[in-house]
Chain A
Amino acid sequence: SAVISQKPSRDICQRGTSLTIQCQVDSQVTMMFWYRQQPGQSLTLIATANQGSEATYESGFVIDKFPISRPNLTFSTLTVSNMSPEDSSIYLCSSLIRDRGNYEQFFGPGTRLTVL
């Protein structure tokens, strides 16, 4: 299993500013992922962050808006740049681990972002 923590847990930001969200895993993992979940909605995958290579973004998400770092096997950051109210959402990171024969994704508690 894995324990994943995120910082900050929540923040309120002004339009046009940027926020960097940190994700820490308690073990070394190859694959990490960033998701967005808007109120009352399902999760949407933003990008895959693998150590040693550039992040892979899903359709509708671009590096200039959501730059991602993956400096080592236990840590990643997601920056939400030039924020607008539409970026208000919960941002979650996760990692894929094989646990007891299953391929499981373990999720962090999320970062609740409000943009004014």
Chain B
Amino acid sequence: LAKTTQPISMDSYEGQEVNITCSHNNIATNDYITWYQQFPSQGPRFIIQGYKTKVTNEVASLFIPADRKSSTLSLPRVSLSDTAVYYCLVGAPHNQGGKLIFGQGTELSVKP
């Protein structure tokens, strides 16, 4: 399972766009990139998943360059409720028994 590196913490203000970058230099061909969000006292929640290029859903966008050695989670116009820990995970859940290995995550703090 590919190791990931992401910033430990980030600060932002309401209404700003937040970009969190994750490095995964040893990503394998079959690996997907998945981001989860965790609020205090809750289990992690799936945000977005991608394999290459760009993926967008109703809450975020995921940008993956051609070499796939990094990825960027983009949160448009954050609000106070986006304050949470964001985890970047790399793996092939359909091939490796669904295991998720969590790194340290990025603690995002959104201020008024």
Which A residues fall within an 8 A CB radius of B?
Answer: 4, 31, 33, 35, 42-45, 48, 50, 56, 92, 94, 96, 98, 102-110, 112
Instruction: Indicate if B45 sits at the interface (CB-CB under 8 A).
Output: yes
Q: Given A94-B43, A110-B43, are A48 and B32 also a contact pair (CB < 8 Å)?
A: no
Instruction: Indicate if B80 sits at the interface (CB-CB under 8 A).
Output: no
10 further contact pairs, Cβ within 8 A, besides A103-B93, A104-B49:
A33-B99, A44-B102, A48-B97, A94-B43, A94-B100, A96-B93, A103-B94, A103-B98, A107-B42, A107-B45
Residues from chain B with a CB closer than 8 A to the CB of A96 are 93, 98
Interface of B is mostly: loop
Which B residues fall within an 8 A CB radius of A?
Answer: 32, 34, 36, 41-46, 49, 87, 93-94, 97-105
**Which among B36, B44, B103, B105 has the greatest number of chain A C-beta atoms within 10 A?**
B44
Supply 21 A–B pairs (Cβ within 8 Å), ascending by A.
A31-B97, A33-B98, A33-B99, A33-B100, A35-B102, A42-B87, A44-B102, A45-B100, A48-B97, A96-B93, A102-B49, A103-B32, A103-B93, A103-B98, A104-B34, A104-B46, A105-B36, A105-B93, A106-B46, A107-B45, A108-B43
Residues from chain B with a CB closer than 8 A to the CB of A42 are 87, 102-105
The residue from A48, A92, A107, A108 contacting B98, defined by CB atoms under 8 A apart? A48
Residue of A nearest to B50 (CB): A102
Residues from chain B with a CB closer than 8 A to the CB of A107 are 42-45
A36 to chain B, nearest CB (A): 11
Question: Is there contact, CB below 8 Å, between A31 and B43?
Answer: no
The residue from B43, B49, B99 contacting A45, defined by CB atoms under 8 A apart? B99
Cα of A39 to Cα of B108 in the assembled complex, Å: 17
Question: Is there contact, CB below 8 Å, between B32 and A43?
Answer: no
Residue of A nearest to B87 (CB): A42
Cα of A103 to Cα of B51 in the assembled complex, Å: 12
